[in-house]
Amino acid sequence: MTFSKQVAMLQWSRYADEDNLAQHLSKAEEEGSEEVEVRREDQDKINKFSRLHQREILFQEELEAKSKEKEDLDDLSVELELADEDEKIPYKIGDSFFHLSLEQAQEMLGTTTSRIEEETSELEEKLGSVREEMKELKVQLYARFGKQINLET
């Protein structure tokens, strides 16, 4: 690796936390940039970045759905607090409704809420690791290709 490539890689790693790495190319890199040959390992990194980006989108969608479900469960919990204790509560499990006592419904609601919270935290961890890996790949690919590649998502 040439000295200028090492310097470029250090510059990119310095800006790894910022959203738009491409804006930080120096004038010297822009003027001196020439077509860089895409090696097999570069193509593998680009493909991996693409797969990670797709996973990131899926995790974000799942996280939004879980957040909505948690919000709905919180609203339901407030409604159950206002319900009469003698009243049977229709509780949906799968495609069926079961009539439960208020206490049973609140207990099941608590269990469901804690399960959703666990799933949400797992998704957030997965999303964080995917984003970290994407950031590392961005640094490597921008150091190699500069403005010849666009990895902004």
Q: Give the pLDDT score at 115.
A: 97
Please report, in angstroms and rounded to a whole number, the separation of the first and last CA atoms in the chain.
Answer: 28
pTM, rounded to two decimals: 0.71
Residue 150 · residue 75 · CB < 8 Å: no
Domain ranges of the chain: 3-148
Euclidean distance between CA atoms 137 and 143, whole angstroms: 10
Q: What is residue 131's predicted lDDT score, i.e. its pLDDT?
A: 97
For residues 25 and 143, give the distance between their C-alpha atoms in angstroms, rounded to a whole number. Answer: 9
> Which CATH code is given to the segment(s) 3-148?
1.10.287.370
Mean of all residue pLDDT scores within the chain? 84
For residue 28, what pLDDT band results from cuts at 50, 70 and 90?
A: very low
Residue with tokens 């003698």: 86
